[in-house]
Structure 1
Amino acid sequence: MLKELCGGMLTSVEIFCLTLIFSLPLGLLISFGRMSKHKIISFIFKIYISIMRGTPLMLQLLVVYFGPYFIFGIQISNTYRFVAVIIGFALNYAAYFAEIYRSGIEAMPKGQYEAAEVLGYSKVQTFFKIIFPQVIKRIIPPITNEVITLVKDTSLAFALAVTEMFTVAKAIAANQKTMTAFIAAAIFYYVFNLLVAFIMEKVEKKLAYYR
C-alpha cells in the first residue's frame, strides 16, 4: 500500500510542478493580451479567460484529451493522458494567474511609468525593472491561494485515468475495503498544502523589505 501511495504522490507532485512551470509565464502573456489596446485582441483573451474560469476543470481535461480524436480524427495513445492533464491544468490556471497579474499591473500608479520615461527607460525596461518587481510583491497572497487550490485540484487527473494520489487511494480502498488509504491521501494533501503555505509565507516576508 505504501509503495503504491508513494507512486501516486510523486505523480501528484509532478502535475503540480509542471502546471506551475507552464501556467505562470503563460498567465503573464495572457494578461498582456487581456490589457492590449487593440479591442479585438483584448476581447479574444477576455473570452478565453471567461471560458477557462467559467467551465469545470474536469470538463476541460476531457476536451483536451478527446478533442484531437473527435475533431481531427487523431488516434489517442495512453502516453497522451499525462500530457493532456498538464495541458489542461496549464491552460486553466494560466487564466486565473492572468487576472491576478492584470490586477497587480493595473494597480500600479501611472506616475511610475511617467517617471521611468523621464529617466530614459524603454517600455520593456520600465516593466521588468520597475513595475514587475512591485507587482510580484502585491500578488503573492492571491497567487498563494491559487497554488494551494492547485494542490487539491491535482486529484482531478483521475478523470483521464492518470494514477495520481487520489486515484491510487480510491483503488486501494475499493480493493482492500479500508479507509486507511483515504486517510493517508488526506494527510498527504494537508501536509503538501502546509509546505506550500510555509514557502509562500517566507517569500512574502522576504519581499516585504520596506516594512
Structure 2
Amino acid sequence: MSLHYVFEILPSLLSGASLTLQLFFWTLIGSLPLGIVVSLGLTSKIKPLKWVLDFYVWLMRGTPLLLQLIFVFYGLPIIGIVFQRYDAAVFAFILNYGAYFAEIFRGGLQSIDNGQYESARVLRLSYWQTIRKIVIPQVVKIVLPSVGNEVINLIKDSSLVYVIGLGDLLRAGNVATSRDVTLVPLVLVGVIYLILVGICTYLLHKVEQRYSYYK
C-alpha cells in the first residue's frame, strides 16, 4: 500500500464521508422527533389514527430501505412528485428510521407504570407536562441501547444511496477501486466506517452514562 496513493485518493473519500455524515445528521434530526410523535399516536386511544400509524410502521419496516429509496427517487416522479437526489435520500431515510424509532419509543412508553400518570393527574399536571417532565426522561433511559443500535446501523445504511447516484463514501471507494484496479480504496472505506462507528459508540456510551441516575 503506497502512502502516496493513499493521500492521492483520501480527499475524494473524505468528500464522500462528508455526504455520509450530512445524511446521517439530517436523518437523525428528522426521524427522532417523528418517531416520538408516531409512538405517542401508536399508544393513543384514537382508533383511526392508530390504524394509520400502524400501517405506516408496518410498511416502512416490512419493505427494504433500498426499495424505498428507489421508489421515492424513480417511482414518485411518475405521479408528478420529483425530488433531487439528496432530498430523496433524506426523505426516504427519515420515513424509514422514523418508523423504527416509533416502535422503540412505543415500547418505552408502554413500560412506564400507569401509577405515574395517575400521580401526575393528582399533581394537576397537563398531559404534555406529564409526557415532557415525567415520561420522556424515563423512556430515554429505557430506549437508549435500542436507539444506539439504530444510530449505528444508520451510518452503515447510508451506503445504500449509491443506488440513486449520490457520491457517498462507499461510492467514492468503488469508483477508485474500479479505476485503479486495487482494493486499497475499499480498505480505506472500511477504516473510515469503523472510525465513524467507533466515535458514535463512544458518544452513545457517554449519553447512557448521563442518564445513569435513572435507576
Aligned-partner SS, 2:45: coil
What aligned pairs does 1:80-95 form with structure 2 within 5 A after superposition?
Answer: 80-95=84-99
Match of 2:18 in 1: 10
Q: Deviations over 1:162-195 (max 9, x none)?
A: 0000011001100000101100100011111111
Contact 2:69-2:89 within 8 A present in 1 as well: yes
Q: How many angstroms does 1:125 deviate by?
A: 0.6
Correspondent of 1:148 among 146, 149, 152: 152
- The one-letter code of the counterpart of 2:173 is A
The ranges of structure 1 where at least 4 consecutive aligned residues each deviate by more than 4 angstroms after the TM superposition are: none
Matches of 1:127 and 1:34, distance apart in 2: 15
Structure 1 spans left out of the alignment, 5+ residues: none
Q: Aligned pair 1:105/2:109, yes or no?
A: yes
Match of 1:181 in 2: 185
What RMSD in Å do the two structures reach over aligned CA positions? 1.2
Matches of 1:28 and 1:48, distance apart in 2: 14
- The one-letter code of the counterpart of 2:15 is G
Question: Percent of aligned positions with the same letter in both sequences?
Answer: 38
Per the normalisation by structure 1, the TM-score is 0.95
Q: Deviations over 1:114-153 (max 9, x none)?
A: 0111011111111101111111111100000000000100
Matches of 2:42 and 2:139, distance apart in 1: 16
Count of aligned residue pairs for this structure pair? 207
Structure 2 spans left out of the alignment, 5+ residues: 1-8
Matches of 1:210 and 1:154, distance apart in 2: 33
- The one-letter code of the counterpart of 2:79 is I
Matches of 2:89 and 2:60, distance apart in 1: 15
Match of 1:190 in 2: 194
Match of 1:27 in 2: 35
Correspondent of 1:60 among 58, 68, 89: 68
Q: How many angstroms does 1:39 deviate by?
A: 1.4
Match of 2:3 in 1: none
Per the normalisation by structure 2, the TM-score is 0.93
Match of 1:41 in 2: 49
- The one-letter code of the counterpart of 2:36 is L
Q: How many angstroms does 1:71 deviate by?
A: 1.5
Contact 2:141-2:214 within 8 A present in 1 as well: no
Matches of 2:102 and 2:209, distance apart in 1: 23
